[in-house]
Structure 1
Amino acid sequence: MLRYLFLACLGLELAAADGWMEDLPAAQERAQREGRDLFIDFTGSDWCSWCIRLDREILGRPEFLTAVREHFVLVKLDYLRKRPLPADRQAALDAISERYAIAGFPTVLLCTADGTAYARTGYLKLTPAAYADRLLAAQAARGREPELARQVADSRGPAQAAALHALIDHRDLMGSEITRDLMQQAVAADPMGTLPATVTMRQRLAEMTITETLRAADTQKDDTQRERLISQGLADSMLSAEFRQGLLMRRAMGKFQTDRAGARTDLDAAKALAPNSTAVEQIDLLLRVLMRP
Structure 2
Amino acid sequence: MKFAILLLAGSISLSFVPWQPDFETAKKLARETNKFILVNFSGSDWCGPCIRLHKEVFESQEFKELTDQSLILYNADFPRNKKNQLSKALQQSNEALADKYNPLGKFPYTVILTPGGKVIKAWEGYSNNNSAQFIEQIKSACNANRN
TM superposition score normalised by structure 2: 0.77
Aligned to 2:9: none
Q: Does 1:136 align with 2:136?
A: no
Partner SS, residue 120 of structure 1: strand
Q: CA deviation at 1:139?
A: 2.3
Identity %: 26
Q: CA deviation at 1:18?
A: 2.0
Q: Does 1:43 align with 2:42?
A: yes
Maintained 8 Å contact 1:64/1:129 = no
Equivalent positions of 1:92-131 (< 5 A) are 92-100=93-101, 101-121=103-123, 122-131=125-134
TM superposition score normalised by structure 1: 0.41
- Any gaps of 5 or more consecutive residues in structure 1? 1-13, 144-293
Distance 1:18 1:120 in 2: 20
Bigger strand share: 2
Distance 1:46 1:80 in 2: 6
Larger radius of gyration: 1
Distance 2:109 2:20 in 1: 16
Maintained 8 Å contact 1:67/1:129 = no
Give deviations 1:211-248, integer Å, cap 9, x for gaps.
xxxxxxxxxxxxxxxxxxxxxxxxxxxxxxxxxxxxxx
Aligned to 1:230: none
- Any gaps of 5 or more consecutive residues in structure 2? 1-12
Aligned to 2:71: 72
What one-letter code is carried by the residue in structure 2 that aligns with 1:96? Answer: L
Maintained 8 Å contact 2:36/2:72 = yes
Partner SS, residue 69 of structure 1: helix
Q: CA deviation at 1:102?
A: 4.6
Distance 1:69 1:129 in 2: 17
Partner SS, residue 85 of structure 1: coil
Q: CA deviation at 1:51?
A: 0.4
* Aligned CA-pair RMSD: 2.1
Maintained 8 Å contact 2:22/2:90 = no
Distance 2:64 2:104 in 1: 24
Equivalent positions of 1:214-253 (< 5 A) are none
Distance 1:68 1:30 in 2: 12
Give deviations 1:87-119, integer Å, cap 9, x for gaps.
222111111110112521000000000111121
Q: CA deviation at 1:68?
A: 3.4
Equivalent positions of 1:1-293 (< 5 A) are 17-83=16-82, 84-100=85-101, 101-121=103-123, 122-142=125-145
Maintained 8 Å contact 1:47/1:81 = yes
